[in-house]
Amino acid sequence: MPAGWPRVILYASLASLVVLGLVSGIVLFLVYLERRVLGRLQARIGPNRVGPWGLLQTTADALKLLTKEDIVPAEADRILFVLAPLVVFFGAAMAFAVVPAGPRLVLVDLGVGVLFVVGMGSLAMLGYLMAGWASHSKYSLLGGMRAVAQLVSYELPLTLALLGVVILSGSLAATRIVEVQRHGWFILLQPLGFFIYFTAGLAEINRSPFDLPEGESELVGGYHTEYSGMRWALFFLAEYAGVFSLSALAATLYLGGWLGPWLPGPVWLLLKTFALVFAIIWLRGTWLRPRLDQLLSFSWKFLLPLSLVNLAFTAAEVYFLRWLGVA
Amino acid sequence: MTPDAVAYVRLGVFMFWTVLFTLAALVMARLLRRNRPNPVKLSTYESGLVTRGETWVRFKTSYYLYALAFVIFDLETLFLYPWAVAFRRLGGFAAWEALLFVVTLLLGLGYAWREGALEWK
């Protein structure tokens, strides 16, 4: 191993710990934010007792979960049961490796960034299936199976929508994609692509209106019915990390990432990300959950053809821009 | 040290710490929590009723059709990624080729649609 490697590993370790710490902190804040905003949307107040404005409520919840008894059902497949939350969290955390907060402020400037994110996003599906199957409970099994059907269906429009961004920027690296947007955010050139990406992304992270795998009014908790304590907290952590990474990625790929006047880059990224997070919470407060067959039809019969149209549209757009002499 | 090698080592380091982070959370919980299992607590939760019948059953076949369609389209998308990266450098011929490719797959989707493979029954 050449001499430079220990330094690389040391710096990467420090950066990784900072990112993991930030992610945990942001998740705690997100849960608080969601409960407050949902409260407003439902004409009530939401948590406001623990700490100033209730800010410490989620910290208290996390501490409670840490000390809560952990139950592994007697009939469960123990190994898969224990492994599932780890897989789900791992998949959710990996997206943060490639989101850039500035030209050099990125954990890993991966050449295949976009493809890596897509791949890691579908890793969660494996975890949901493991959890649903291993629990040996009918609610869990149905939840896990729904998760697979849903993720398999929505991954296609998601990946196809991202192709538009790749064509326009000629790169898969997140930093390069943001740099190209100096001349104009991609949402202006890709309104359809943004719509497809955001909708399919919501389905990928099981957020309402696409939260059928959990569907508490029919499946109790879906794939995590049998989980408690810290293992359940990992699922929860992964879900909110998913909300944040989806918003951060959408901001990076379509809304110009860290680009913006006056304020420093990371602040711009956070502002754009939280605007999208707010939209996600708003959707949860106002939309109904569709039936499973409606959900699957929506992807296969509407989003998938639409994303192929978007692809042809983008290719035509490139030629049009070239004809105009802009790009 | 090529930039690519550095990137992948950094990614590996991040993966390592992520796994360690989750394991640390679980170990910490193990040290802090109480543990008093009993047969009722460990039974399967089905809204308070005793569980009946098989749980690990074979699932319905429409799954298989969705999975097949998924594999086909996912592969297609993977083929399109290198094309998309190089699109601006390629000539018009590549654009027509990709169009032909996508149209062929659209025909396939249309066929699956007509045959009812996309119905959730």
pLDDT higher than threshold 80 for residue B57: no
DSSP code of B58?
Answer: P
Identify the band that residue B20 occupies on the pLDDT scale cut at 50, 70 and 90. Answer: very high
Residue of A115, A126, A159, A219 to mutate for B, most B C-beta atoms under 10 A:
A159
Beta carbons of A231 and A288 less than 8 angstroms apart:
no
A87 and A42 housed in the same domain: no
Section B97-110 average pLDDT = 85
Residue A53 DSSP class: G
CB spacing of B67 vs A152 below 8 angstroms: yes
pLDDT tens digits along A12-50: 888 889 989 988 899 889 999 998 888 888 888 888 888
- Partners of residue A137 in chain B, C-beta under 8 Å: 44-46, 51, 55
The distance of A45 to chain B (nearest Cα, Å) reads: 31
A179, two tokens:
């740099």
Task: Answer whether A115 touches B (CB < 8 Å).
Answer: yes
- Domain boundaries of chain B, sorted by first residue: 3-114
**pTM attached to this predicted model:** 0.88
Instruction: Decide if A153 and B70 are in contact by the 8 Å CB cutoff.
Output: yes
pLDDT value of position A99: 87
- B81 and A119 Cβ atoms separated by less than 8 Å: no
| pLDDT score at B87 | 83
A94 and A157 fall within a common domain: yes
From chain A residues 147-206, the ones with a CB under 8 A of any chain B CB are 148-149, 152-153, 155-156, 159-160, 163, 166-167, 170-172
Handedness of CA B8, A115, B112, A289 (dihedral sign): positive
Give how far B64 is from chain A: nearest CA, Å.
10
Query: Using the beta-carbon criterion (under 8 Å), do A156 and B73 form an inter-chain contact?
Result: yes
Residue B52 Cα distances to A137, B44, B56, angstroms? 10, 10, 12
Do A127 and A275 belong to one domain? yes
Same domain, A268 and A318: yes
Q: What integer pLDDT is reported at residue A95 of this predicted model?
A: 87
Give the SS3 label for residue A111: coil
Q: What is the pLDDT of residue B60?
A: 74
pLDDT digits (tens, 9 = 90+) for A64-106: 888 888 888 877 788 888 888 899 899 888 888 888 887 778 8
What pLDDT does residue A215 have?
67
Report the C-alpha gap between B83 and B74 in whole angstroms: 15
Cβ-Cβ contacts under 8 Å, B55 against chain A: 75, 136-138, 141
User: Residue ranges of chain A with pLDDT lower than 50?
Assistant: none
CB pairs under 8 A between A and B: 199
d(CA A202, CA A211): 9
Q: Which residues span the domain enclosing A3?
A: 1-67
Identify whether the C-beta of residue A87 lies closer than 8 Å to the C-beta of residue A127: yes
- The reply to whether residue B87 touches residue A137, judged by beta carbons under 8 angstroms, is no
Helix (H, G, I), strand (E, B) or coil at B80: helix
Mean pLDDT, chain B, integer: 82
pLDDT above 70 covers what percent of chain A? 97
Dist CA A111 CA B14 (whole Å): 16
Q: Do A38 and A165 lie in a common domain?
A: no
Are A91 and A62 in the same domain? no
Task: Say whether both A198 and A50 belong to one domain.
Answer: no
How many domains does chain A divide into?
Answer: 2
Partner-chain contact B21 A149, CB within 8 Å: no
Both A29 and A117 in one domain: the answer is: no
Same-domain status, A196 and A305 = yes
Looking at the fold, whether A94 and A11 belong to one and the same domain comes out as: no
pLDDT of residue A2: 57
Closest residue in B to A314 (Cα) is B84
Residue of A nearest to B108 (CA): A305
* Token duo for residue A267: 């602040």
Residue of B nearest to A66 (CA): B29
Residue A75 contacts B, CB cutoff 8 Å: yes
Cβ distance of A305 and B109 shorter than 8 Å: yes
User: What CA–CA distance (Å, rounded) separates A106 from A257?
Assistant: 12
Same-domain pairing of A106 and A58:
no
* Residue of B33, B68, B72, B93 best to disrupt the A interface, most CBs of A under 10 A: B33
The shortest CB-CB distance from B18 to any of A4, A20, A73 is to: A20
Q: Which residue of B has its CA nearest to A65?
A: B29
**Cβ contact A297–B15 (<8 Å):** no
Are A142 and A228 within 8 A, CB to CB? no
Whether B120 has a pLDDT exceeding 80, the answer reads no
Which of A67, A82, A112 is the C-terminal boundary of a domain? A67
Superfamily of domain B3-114 in CATH is: NADH:ubiquinone/plastoquinone oxidoreductase, chain 3 (1.20.58.1610)
Both A128 and A238 in one domain: the answer is yes
Please give the pLDDT value at position A74: 78
Most B-contacting residue of A152, A298, A299 (CB-CB within 10 A), to test interface: A152
